[in-house]
Amino acid sequence: MYTTFRINKKDLNKGFLEALKSLFKDDELEISVSPADETAYLLKSPGNKKRLLRSVKNIKAGKNLIEVDWKNLK
């Protein structure tokens, strides 16, 4: 089972952990944490922001695109 939770950090409490334990019973869990809006996080760095905005501009203009044949990937 795969479940995604979107929760404010102020709501991470004992009740939330108990709900997870109840939901997954005796299963081993793998927990990954990231900001809900990863794009905003990436744009905080001036260098990342410049590269990302340039990439978006190139995509819209159809420039510097690489075509990949997914059937031949190994």
**Domain boundaries defined on the chain:** 9-65
H or E element that contains 40: helix 38-43
**Per-residue model confidence as pLDDT tens digits over 52-74:** 999 999 999 989 888 888 888 87
Question: Could you identify the residue written with the tokens 């978006």?
Answer: 56
Cβ atoms of 48 and 42 within 8 Å: the answer is yes
Most confident of 3-7, 32-36, 61-65: 61-65
Q: What is the pTM of this model?
A: 0.43
Which pLDDT does position 6 carry in this prediction?
Answer: 85
* pLDDT (mean) for 33-43: 79
